[in-house]
Amino acid sequence: MAAAMPLALVVLLLLGPGGPALAEPPRDSLREELVITPLPSGDVAATFQFRTRWDSELQRKGGLSVLLKADRLFHTSYHSQAVHIRPVCRNTRCTSISWELRQTLSVVFDAFITGQGKKDWSLFRMFSRTLTEPCPLASESRVYVDITNYSQDNETLEVNPPPTTTYQDVILGTRRTYAVYDLLDRAMINNSRNLNLQLKWKKPPENEAPLVPFLHAQRYVSGYGLQKGELSTLLYNTHPYRAFPVLLLDSVPWYLRLYVHTLTITSKGKENKPSYIHYQPAQDRLQPHLLEMLIQLPANSVTKVSIQFERALLKWTEYTPDPNHGFYVSPSVLSALVPSMVAAKPVDWEESPLFNTLFPVSDGSSYFVRLYTEPLLVNLPTPDFSMPYNVICLTCTVVAVCYGSFYNLLTRTFHIEEPSTGGLAKRLANLIRRARGVPPL
């Protein structure tokens, strides 16, 4: 289920130089951000984001990257990494361009691992270390904690240490409130030498179902046998009254031979014709299939896109050493402008947090979302690689046993041989008989 729920506690510390009128952003800057979002089920989602405007990668010491330790980050229910590179204008007139590199890491921590059954969590419990100092190279370094539903009163939860500021904005169509902790603010770190954010639930949160996003998708392979199959993608539009278009991009490897005449798109039982289709067929061993469609999703519906395929037989040497594991089909990419529940006012991209500006949209009535469905594992017809060895053994055995016996029977001659008796006694007797001149025994 590719649910677009980036409930991340975005901790963005923006500590830029003061003054609203910045003629041009600092030339080379590093901004780092951690967003922590408690999910309704009690799990905690954390998203790190690092943005640099340098030509080369920075070596980061201190700051948020101390929290990036593999042993804790892989003990999670969900883990996702992304790298975004794009050219950005250096100034409003766009006379010079620099490259922006964003690296994001999203993880979802399981409540039971972090809190021993209780839903409380802290940075130390999640990452087994705390934030000690800001990164010396960062111009901004912040931690955001999502406290949307509970900002009014202090009776449901308590965030420790108390935040200095809060940040409110329309994120992904809904209004959200974040507690902001600025690592570059000296008062924050100096008090306690380290920053260990803790969240304690005063009242246990009701087990509400997680919010279903307006757009989510699922993909699967159906069919039986190793000759053919069907690839289906389900697109869910859960908005009660708005329909919106979705761009679906599928890149299927060449060894799954798609039959495009079997492509069917149905919504609510009726056929749905896409507004735009682009298909580039695969060439064996050279390039994969490329299928791109713009599909209108009616409100409150499920759209099923399905296409049948045939599995190809690869050449002997093209099989991997573990062919029975299966072959991967890369995820399909969905891009859509989803209507928001709350209209957002246009943001100043430089001042707003990183998590808000990944896909900036100038029109506040919808927000841009890019989803990836799950990758699929497809089994191809696999030859039995041990067959030549087995055949050689069997054939040689059969030849040796059957033909060999037959050959012996036909060509061997048999002589009758006297059994020899006596031995030493007989020899002695013959010696004496020879001395006497008598014929031997």
Partner 1 sequence: MAATYCLGRASIALAALLLLSFGSFAASQIEVCTSRFWFNYRHVANTLSVYRSVKRLGIPDSHIVLMLADDMACNPRNPKPATVFSHKNMELNVYGDDVEVDYRSYEVTVENFLRVLTGRIPPSTPRSKRLLSDDRSNILIYMTGHGGNGFLKFQDSEEITNIELADAFEQMWQKRRYNELLFIIDTCQGASMYERFYSPNIMALASSQVGEDSLSHQPDPAIGVHLMDRYTFYVLEFLEEINPASQTNMNDLFQVCPKSLCVSTPGHRTDLFQRDPKNVLITDFFGSVRKVEITTETISLQQYSEMESKPKLKDWHPPGGFILGLWALIIMVFFKTYGIKHMKFIF
List residues binding partner 1 (CB under 8 A).
Answer: 69-71, 73-75, 320-322, 385
Round to whole Å and give the CA distance between 296 and 275: 8
d(CA 268, CA 302): 7
Q: Which is nearer to partner 1, 41 or 65 (CB)?
A: 65
Contact 140, 42 (CB under 8 A): no
Identify the H or E element spanning 304: strand 301-311
- Residue 339, classed as helix, strand or coil, is strand
- Kindly give, in sequence order, each residue whose CB lies less than 8 Å from that of residue 100, ignoring residues fewer than 6 positions away: 51, 52, 53, 84, 85, 86, 87, 88
Residue 266 CA from chain centroid, whole number: 28
Smallest gap from residue 58 Cβ to partner 1 (A): 18
Q: Cβ closer to partner 1: 65 or 238?
A: 65
CB of 163 to partner 1, least distance (A): 32
Nearer to partner 1, 92 or 317 (CB): 317
271 versus 384: smaller Cβ distance to partner 1? 384
Residue 400: CB minimum distance to partner 1, A: 23
Q: Are 305 and 235 a contacting pair, CB within 8 Å? A: yes
The helix or strand, by DSSP H or E, that contains position 51, with its residue range, turns out to be strand 44-52
User: Among residues 341 and 392, whose Cβ is nearest to partner 1?
Assistant: 392
Which is nearer to partner 1, 321 or 423 (by Cβ)?
321
| Integer CA distances (angstroms), 280 to 55, 194, 229, 292, in order | 35, 55, 20, 9
Tokens representing residue 1 in the block: 């289920």
CB of 181 to partner 1, least distance (A): 26
Q: Min. distance of Cβ 110 from partner 1 in angstroms? A: 13
In sequence order, what DSSP letters do the residues of 92-155 get, joined into one string?
TT--SEEEEEEEEEEEEE-HHHHHTTSS-EEHHHHHSS-B-S--TT-SEEEEEEE-GGGSS-SS
Q: Which is nearer to partner 1, 96 or 320 (CB)?
A: 320
* Minimal distance, residue 388 CB to partner 1, in Å: 13
Taking the complex as a whole, the smallest distance from the CB of residue 387 to partner 1 amounts, in Å, to: 14
Q: Which is nearer to partner 1, 322 or 418 (CB)?
A: 322
Q: Write phi, then psi, for 399 (nearest 5 degrees).
A: -60, -45
We find the least distance from the C-beta atom of residue 74 to partner 1, in angstroms, to be: 4
Nearer to partner 1, 69 or 426 (CB): 69
How far apart (Å, rounded) are the C-alpha atoms in residues 305 and 328? Answer: 20
Quote the least distance from Cβ 322 to partner 1, whole Å: 6
**Cα angle, residue 357 at apex, residues 355 and 359 outer, rounded to 5°:** 105
